[in-house]
Amino acid sequence: MQEIDVVPMKLDQLYALLPAERVAQFEERAAVARSLLHGGVVWNVSATAHGGGVAEMLQTLLSYVRGVGVDTRWLVLTGAPELFTVTKRVHNLLHGEPGDGGPLGPAELATVLAALADDVEDLAARVSPGDVVLLHDPQTAGMVDRLRARGVAVVWRCHVGRDTPNGLTDRAWEFLRPLLQAADGFVFSREAYAPDWCRTDRMRVIAPSIDPLSAKNRPLSAAEVQAALVHTGLVAGPNTLPDLHYVRRDGAAGTVRRHRDLVTDGGPVPAGARLVVQVSRWDRLKDMAGVLRGFVGALGTLPGDVHLVLAGPDPSYVSDDPEGAVVLQECRDLWRGLAPAERLRVHLVRLPMDSVDENAHLVNALQRRATVIVQKSLVEGFGLTVTEAMWKERPVVASAVGGLLDQIEDGRTGWLLPDPTDLAGLGATLGTVLGDPVRAAAVAAAGRASVHENYLGDRHLEAYVDLFGRLLR
């Protein structure tokens, strides 16, 4: 297994964003965590170190945990392709979608256990009784029994799910149950995501959070946004700021590199254009293709200066999602089928993944350059990109599904699409938001206030301390 370096973060800047009573409460809970662990380690295991919301969240949370004096480590699976083929199938089924339609039976169970065998023995040799292991998502499910035999508390964290179970979700849980049922604890983003066999006394609901100080969320001036996007070829126009530095997670300075191939189709965005932006993985459940169709279908009613940007990670760097390249190609094929005038209004972007911090900085710049941010997921466990957009005071249009229902109050902190497949409804809502900038600004400000209250890291970590308290006592 690969161990990811976790750099302790000083909490002074986070504390500066919080009221005094929240700072005091957080410090109190941190002291409880240190006492409970008695020098033990909190281990986190995920499928990848970059390319998705879980990896981004761990980078933030674990740095804060180390910053308050709790020893936490982060390990990433070796990543056999056959493991990710099966677990991507499970991932889709947990969302109630058929995915590749492949089987889930004894042969696939054997594939998972065989692919994890070396990693689980590696981890078993590292842990000690009294430690806590947090396993993230279906890729890690086959590690539970071996780790519990080592005398450690094992918690499985599921970041995905579906509000209304169906035969497909039942099939996924039937496959996962023998791998997971011995876990000491379970964490879900919503109570509705838990299977009916999961005992309520072992379950916690913990909403994900963002780091307001990360490269993806820290404040950027308009000049910094312009410099990053022009220098990388995402936006046309003059570069008015020669300084292209940004702050990495470890506090060191990074420099935005010049890129020539990030815009896969559509060319650079015109300098004065207003932008509708969706940033997400190239995953069918994020429905990038649907956003493209809905936007193009509404071009006759949208202002002529509005363009669409669909931005996602370079699929070649996302090892645990074998569908990414296929979905991107489907979007490219759609773009090529548009009329010439329509193509000029749509831009497909592959963001670099060889530098996590530069990727985050470019996402930050794109979101801040956006006039409206969309998350038209067909299903969604929890939309980190939505929380990020709300923190940046951008109006958000999202589907009324899953965790997005918790994150957005329709009409007050954002706009919800009742039917995520209603492409005409998407176009009409975009027209409403773009046509009333005063109301859009007021809704965006309310969205930021909601994130400040509910979705920063102190809330997230306090919930985990409560869970550890039950396990370790």
Residue pLDDT tens, the chain, 473 long? 999 998 898 899 899 999 999 999 999 999 999 999 988 999 999 998 876 778 888 988 899 999 999 999 999 999 789 999 999 999 999 999 998 999 999 999 999 999 999 999 999 999 999 999 999 999 999 999 999 999 999 999 999 999 899 999 999 999 999 999 999 999 999 999 999 999 888 999 998 899 998 899 999 999 999 999 999 999 998 876 667 888 887 778 899 999 988 999 999 999 999 999 999 999 999 999 999 999 999 999 999 999 999 999 998 877 667 789 999 999 999 999 999 999 999 999 999 988 888 999 999 999 999 999 999 999 998 899 999 999 999 999 999 999 999 999 999 999 999 999 999 999 999 999 999 999 999 999 999 999 999 999 999 899 999 888 888 76
Predicted local confidence at residue 473, as pLDDT:
67
Residues 107 and 242 in one domain: no
Domain assignment of residue 88, yes or no? yes
Same domain, 96 and 240: no
> Which domain CATH number covers 132?
3.40.50.2000
Residues 318, 373 within the same domain: yes
Q: 187 is in which domain, residue-wise?
A: 2-209+456-472
The reply to whether 216 falls in a domain is: no
pLDDT at 314: 92
Cα(251)–Cα(7) distance, rounded to whole angstroms? Answer: 10
Q: Based on the domain organization, do 137 and 149 belong to the same domain?
A: yes
Whether residue 235 is found in the same domain as residue 146: no
**36 and 184 assigned to the same domain:** yes
Same domain flag for 369 and 235? yes
Within this chain, do residues 123 and 48 fall inside the same structural domain, yes or no? yes
Residues paired with residue 435 on neighbouring β-strands, in sequence order? none
Supply φ then ψ for residue 241, to 5 degrees.
Answer: -130, 105
**Would 424 be classed as within a structural domain?**
yes
Instruction: Mark whether 174 and 275 lie in a shared domain.
Output: no
Q: Give, rounded to a whole angstrom, the gap between the first and last alpha carbons of the chain.
A: 30
Domain count along the chain: 2
Neighbours of 440 (CB within 10 A): 19
Considering the domain architecture, whether residues 339 and 433 belong to the same structural domain is answered as: yes
Is residue 217 one of the residues assigned to a domain? Answer: no
Same domain, 272 and 191: no
DSSP 331-365: HHHHHHTS-HHHHTTEEEEEE--S-HHHHHHHHHH
Query: Is residue 381 a part of any domain in this protein?
Result: yes
Enumerate the β-bridge partners of residue 265.
Answer: 348
Nearest to 237 by CA among 227, 250, 222: 227
One-letter amino acid at 224 equals E
**Alpha-helical segments (H) within 98-202:** 106-126, 144-148, 167-180
Q: Are residues 328 and 252 in the same domain?
A: yes
Helix axes 437-454, 423-435, angle to 10 degrees: 100
